[in-house]
Amino acid sequence: MSALVYYITLPFIYLISILPFRVLYLFSDFIYFVLYKCFGYRKVVVLQNLRNAFPNKTEKELNKICNAFYHNLCDFMVETFKILTISKEGIMKRCRMTPECKAVFDKFADENKSVIMVMGHLGNWEWAGHPFSLQCRQRLDVLYHPLSNTYFNGLMYRMRSRFGTRMMPMRTAFKEMLAHRNELTATVFISDQTPLPENAYWTTFLNQDTPIFKGTEVIAKKMNLPVVYCSILKVKRGYYEMHAEVLVANPTATADGEISEKHTKRLEKDIIATPASWLWSHRRWKYKRPVRSGVEN
């Protein structure tokens, strides 16, 4: 059944991909109308997340952010399909690494140092890897969760690796990083996913108790890899800029939780600055902070 759905859907995906951008965004506007205005897809979740994150904003302000978020979400969906057919020149024009961003990675390449990149579901994270792979000397390795549908997982894999990015399943990430430790790489960790509460680092993020994956910090320390924060900021519709800054140059010299705290707070700063650009439909706060021996950890 999954194969049938895939092969029925695939021609429509390619049809969307070859649309000129002007037509593509008209289609995005149509999806927005259906998704938000007609069905209210996860609208309750989005608004509750916004209320919890921004308790001082009025309902009018929150609804304005909510509306802008759905426009961005629909643009993101059609832009993702565009990866199938966009040219190298096209992706580099529409998702640009700033000179300062490239200089960060060039410096580490000159020193023959691999790095860990942390980022969130902000802007267009699916486009971001392609200009990096096309311009930087590091091979880009991206951690991901394979989809349960093997056919669509293969499609996403081809899209994400089209310009040289290498995909690594999260469950084998550390083993693969060790196996390739003598190669010049930049390994991407998406930091705002939701781990199981018992195995997480807990902090306050957007005014809420939030679990954070420890893996980024643990691997950075074990392999002593510098940690670079990256953000993909929307310049205007269909155009993004990639920014980067070094968060931790020497992970082994940091205290427990310091790296997790730094990359979480840096992402929070970007979300507060451009709230409609983050993935609010994600059920980020579905777990409560565990209580052990009467003391919260």
Report the pLDDT averaged over residues 3-18: 94
Report the pLDDT averaged over residues 73-78: 98
Mean predicted lDDT score pLDDT of the chain? 95
Reduce the DSSP state of residue 188 to 3 states and report it: strand
pLDDT at 167 over 80: yes
Report the pLDDT averaged over residues 235-241: 97
Nearest to 72 by CA among 274, 283, 210, 251: 274
Instruction: Please count the other Cβ atoms lying within 10 Å of the Cβ belonging to residue 245.
Output: 12
What would the two tokens of residue 161 be? 């690796």
> Is 75:238 a contact under the CB 8 Å cutoff?
yes
Question: What is the pLDDT, as a whole number, of residue 2?
Answer: 83
Question: What is the pLDDT, as a whole number, of residue 296?
Answer: 46
> Is 16:27 a contact under the CB 8 Å cutoff?
yes
Question: What is the pLDDT, as a whole number, of residue 291?
Answer: 78
Confidence of residue 294 (pLDDT cuts 50, 70, 90): very low
Report the pLDDT averaged over residues 38-57: 97
Summarised one tens digit per residue, pLDDT across range 273-289 is: 999 999 999 989 999 99
Question: What is the pLDDT, as a whole number, of residue 292?
Answer: 66
pLDDT at 50 over 60: yes
Question: What is the pLDDT, as a whole number, of residue 293?
Answer: 46
pLDDT at 152 over 60: yes
Q: What is the DSSP string of 154-175?
A: HHHHHHHTTTS-EEEEGGGHHH
pLDDT exceeding 70 applies to what percent of the chain? 98
pLDDT at 170 over 50: yes
Residue type, 227: V
Question: What is the pLDDT, as a whole number, of residue 199?
Answer: 87
Summarised one tens digit per residue, pLDDT across range 92-150 is: 999 999 999 999 999 999 999 999 999 999 999 999 999 999 999 999 999 999 999 99
Reduce the DSSP state of residue 245 to 3 states and report it: strand
